[in-house]
Amino acid sequence: MSQHTHTQGLVELCHVSRSFGQVKALSNVTLTIRRGECLGLIGHNGAGKSTLMNILAGTLALDEGDMTFAGQPLGQDYAVNQARALGVRCVFQELSLCPNLSVLENTHIACPEIRGWQWRKQAAAQMTSSLDQIFPGHGIKPQHIVADLSIGQRQMVEIARAFTAVDRPVELVILDEPTSSLDARVAQQLLSFVRRFVEGGGSLVLISHILDEMLSSCDRIAVMQDGHVVEVRQATDYTRDSLVEAMGHAASPTHTQSDVRSNESSVADPTASESMTSGASNAPLRVHQASGPAAHTPVIEARQGQIIGLAGLAGHGQSAFLNKVLMSRQGAGQVAFVAGDRQTEGIFPLWSIAENMAITSLKGLSQYGLIERQKVMAMANQWQHEMGIRTPSVQNPMGSLSGGNQQKVLFARALGASADLILMDDPMRGVDVGTKREVYERIQAEAAKGRTFIWYTTEFEELSYCDHIYVFRDGQAVEGFPLSELSEARVLSSSFEEDVVC
């Protein structure tokens, strides 16, 4: 734990409230962020965590209450520029990089203090130094165009950018679900850096649904429920179960989350050609892969009612494989897709929640070519109830939902469609533990009814819900085995094994 005194408040929030229309996102929140501490913030989807952080970062104004920074009151006009001048940085759940610009150009946008005719050189040096400190061996070049990076690498750039100090020190960094797109090795690098940062006197707020990383990285943890901070304690006072209980969910007796992820984050371009066969809707889907890095590349098979897990290092061809299956099946109306990168692949933020849910089911919700609004609303209301989506009305815009609740809508969209094959691309990003557990049960129930799932996951624990697992490396599945043979060691060894050159 930090050498610095933990008693001094860097930021004090006093009776802070904030509403969005009828939704009281924050209600009378009083909280201190101390110097030299990592404060964890945990709570169910829609509890108010991001709203609180937006207020701290100056991107949202508070309705009621007061805030002080280093003892100085922050006025009504507190906004992003002042936050930045005070050394407050925030990495939001939804990444904010401009995809068509390079890493260094994105650095320049976020750090306008980098000026002069040598700004490119300076931005490149600053970014490389931040990346090297946080993610040694990252492999990201300042000239890389962001759109060409994997989602994990984009997250690394976004995080490194937040810690880039140009002409003033970084005092407080807010990380909202920072490891959700990172796999184990990279996530661990970040969490080690977090400890170094706070031990050097910096303050950090960490928001995560991954309990183990909260317990191991935070000094104190604040628990939120429905806009209130209900409890703040030393992290060492909590266990996994007591944290879940404080959030208002029962602990699962069957699956203890180890929150273990697969490792490494690298981009592999899947060049292998594959051939797919699937006849009648209940015939198995078979993908024959071209010979790849392993001596025996398995035929990937998904039978009706099976849950197939795709594992391996992030970026090794799992998402590309799902896309190929999606393309091969599209048009037949038999396939649904749950995106993990909801910002670019999943949601229409200005459309209503109901429209976002119904978009893949319109055929069944129409008559004589006209969409029946009542049916759309009935479907949306049913799924709101089933998935526990927190909103006063499904007619509200999708963009008004919290990140985790948006992800639930994507699940509802896929499960509500008539598809018999559901493809899931690491879909649990930002979903709270209680909901995750419900979704796992739902997937199993739907599989028992005959639906087939192909599920790419970066969380090792989720593989334990699959019937058969394929490990990907260099763009191909290199090994397949049944659940009974699943072990972390096996997944890791297949993920890392070097090619044997004869």
Ligand X SMILES: Nc1ncnc2c1ncn2[C@@H]1O[C@H](COP(=O)(O)OP(=O)(O)OP(=O)(O)O)[C@@H](O)[C@H]1O
Q: Which is closer to ligand X, CB of 47 or CB of 272?
A: 47
Cβ 47 to ligand X, closest distance in Å? 4
Cβ 50 to ligand X, closest distance in Å? 3
Cβ 314 to ligand X, closest distance in Å? 21
In angstroms, what CA-CA distances link 209 with 42, 46, 50, 196, 403?
7, 12, 13, 22, 12
Q: Which is closer to ligand X, CB of 218 or CB of 469?
A: 218
Q: How many CB atoms lie within 10 A of CB 58?
A: 21
Cβ 486 to ligand X, closest distance in Å? 29
For residue 272, the 8-state DSSP code is: -
Q: Which is closer to ligand X, CB of 48 or CB of 202?
A: 48
Sequence-separated (6 or more) residues with CB below 8 Å from residue 249? 44, 432, 433, 434, 437
**Whole-angstrom Cα distance, residue 69 to residue 9?**
8
Which residues are near ligand X by CB under 6 A? 20, 23, 25, 43, 45-51, 93, 390-391, 400-405, 430, 432
Amino acid at site 76:
Q
Cβ 186 to ligand X, closest distance in Å? 21
* Listed residue (213, 260, 289) closest to 40, CA to CA: 213
**Whole-angstrom Cα distance, residue 246 to residue 235?**
13
Q: Which is closer to ligand X, CB of 57 or CB of 114?
A: 57
Cβ 49 to ligand X, closest distance in Å? 4
Cβ 246 to ligand X, closest distance in Å? 14
**Whole-angstrom Cα distance, residue 278 to residue 156?**
39
Burial class (CB in 10 A: 0-12, 13-18, 19+), 408: buried
Sequence-separated (6 or more) residues with CB below 8 Å from residue 347? 356, 398, 399, 406, 409, 410
Q: CB nearest ligand X: which residue?
A: 404
For residue 228, the 8-state DSSP code is: E
Cβ 60 to ligand X, closest distance in Å? 8
Q: Which is closer to ligand X, CB of 92 or CB of 470?
A: 92
Cβ 412 to ligand X, closest distance in Å? 15
**Whole-angstrom Cα distance, residue 8 to residue 15?**
19
Pair of tokens at residue 401: 């939902």
Q: Which is closer to ligand X, CB of 58 or CB of 87?
A: 58
Q: Which is closer to ligand X, CB of 46 or CB of 270?
A: 46
First to last CA, the chain: 50
Pair of tokens at residue 38: 């990592």
Q: Which is closer to ligand X, CB of 130 or CB of 391?
A: 391
Backbone angles phi, psi at 88, to 5 degrees: -100, 130
Q: Which is closer to ligand X, CB of 19 or CB of 323?
A: 19
**Whole-angstrom Cα distance, residue 422 to residue 411?**
10
Q: With contact defined as beta carbons under 8 Å apart, do 191 and 159 qualify?
A: no
Burial class (CB in 10 A: 0-12, 13-18, 19+), 330: exposed
Cβ 207 to ligand X, closest distance in Å? 7
Q: Which is closer to ligand X, CB of 47 or CB of 149?
A: 47
Q: With contact defined as beta carbons under 8 Å apart, do 36 and 4 qualify?
A: yes
